[in-house]
Amino acid sequence: MIDQDDFVRKALAFGEAVTEPHPVEISPTPELVSSALALIHQAVKEAPAPVPLARLAAALLRTIEDLDASSWGSFGSFRALIDSLDLTPLAVTWEGGGTIYDPKRHSRPATLSAGASAGKTNGVQIKIEELIRTEVSRAPQPVPCGRLATLILGQDNSLAADWAGKGTFRKFVESLNVKPVQFNWNSSGGVAFDQNRNAMSSEVAAEPENEWADKTLLELARHIHELTDVPLLSPKRYRNLIEMISIDVLSSPFGLVETGKRVRDRCRDSGLPVSCADVNHVLRSLLMRGHTFEEGPNDGLTLCRKLADNIRSLCLREQILLDATMDSAIENWIVGGDSQ
């Protein structure tokens, strides 16, 4: 267990010289971890040779419910998911696309030459750029990035391991030349659209800035959102979202998919809509913080504080300096949102 007071004190370096912050361990969702571990060990056990990470990534996406290639269950990337697992006695290498193997049964695999890898990447990149443009041009509405990620992996599933060295889907697609297609990341999963063709819905359009009384807080929140993919919701919407979660789990048993849909509907009916992707992002963040909805407590203040602590952990993971200003901003954004 993490002592929250000690965590914040160390993160802010009270009374100590400032040192490079160490990331705080984030507890992964138990169901996702157990499913991933079982599948990985079974795949390696049955394989006569090292298993390519791309093949393993595709198998995880195909098998585990609600896992998608754009967010990887809120881990952000396939590599972050793999790195969070205790795979003993298996070994992982990320060179040349990467493999996972059992050192007792398999030889360490040879890697592709840099030239061959670069040539393959360049050819695939052109095809993917055209795929994105074509898919967006066909769609009457913005295209969810989760769908794009699935289509891209259909072209080349080796990208699932680390998105051509970019680490995340977002960094990968932002490195492509797909004009006139643009990306909107205000919802946690993101969407791709052509502003000349696709009208942005109220759920994915940028929130009105008048919901942010504190413009400095808005800029700090946007900075955190861009680096960690935390939903960029106004303090008012976060407080309302947490209240809707609290009300729902008091009246119905918790289930990630079912609860997410009901909470989304509650937010919509309250006049402060939040996308299903953002609702699920917040629910997963609370689970990853170790919260158990079946045991509680599930009051709004407790949930807000746990969500704020999860955001602090993500900031440390991305090496965002958690000084007094940033810590106070997170507190005001999530916990103190009803005063904004």
- Specify whether 268 is located in the same domain as 309: yes
Q: Which domain holds residue 132?
A: 114-193
Between CA 217 and CA 212 the distance in angstroms is 8
Q: What is the pLDDT of residue 249?
A: 94
Do both 153 and 74 map to the same domain?
A: no
Maximum CA extent, the chain: 61
Q: Is residue 152 domain-resident? A: yes
Within this chain, do residues 273 and 159 fall inside the same structural domain, yes or no? no
CA 267, 272, 275, 278 dihedral sign is negative
DSSP state, 185? Answer: -
pLDDT for position 83: 85
**Same-domain check for residues 89 and 151:** no
Select from 168, 193, 218 the last residue of a domain. 193
Q: Could you read off the pLDDT tens digit of each residue along the chain, which spans 340 residues?
A: 445 445 444 444 434 433 333 433 444 467 778 888 899 999 999 988 888 888 888 888 888 876 777 777 777 778 888 888 889 999 998 876 688 999 999 887 665 444 444 445 567 788 899 999 999 988 888 888 888 888 888 788 777 777 877 878 888 888 898 989 998 876 656 788 887 775 554 444 445 567 888 889 998 998 888 888 888 899 999 999 999 999 999 999 999 889 999 999 999 899 888 888 889 889 988 988 889 999 989 999 999 999 999 999 888 888 888 889 999 999 999 998 444 4
| Domains: count for the chain | 3
DSSP 129: H
Same structural domain, 160 and 215: no
C-alpha distances (whole Å) from 143 to each of 55, 113, 132, 149 are 25, 36, 9, 11
- Residues whose CB is less than 8 angstroms from the CB of residue 277 and which lie 6 or more positions away in sequence, other chains included: 144, 187, 188, 189
In a domain, 214, yes or no: yes
Same domain, 262 and 144: no
Q: Which residue in this structure is represented by tokens 């800035």? A: 209
Domain termination site, one of 163, 193, 223: 193
Does 325 lie in the same domain as 217?
A: yes
Regarding whether 118 and 97 lie in a shared domain, the answer is no
Contact 106, 49 (CB under 8 A): yes
Chain centroid to CA 88: how far?
Answer: 25
Q: What is the pLDDT of residue 70?
A: 72
Choose the final residue of a domain: 38, 70, 101: 101
| φ/ψ bin of 258: left (φ > 0), alpha (ψ from -120 to 50), beta (otherwise) | alpha
Same structural domain, 38 and 85: yes
Within-domain flag for 60? yes
In a domain, 16, yes or no: no
Tell me, yes or no, whether 156 and 62 share the same domain: no
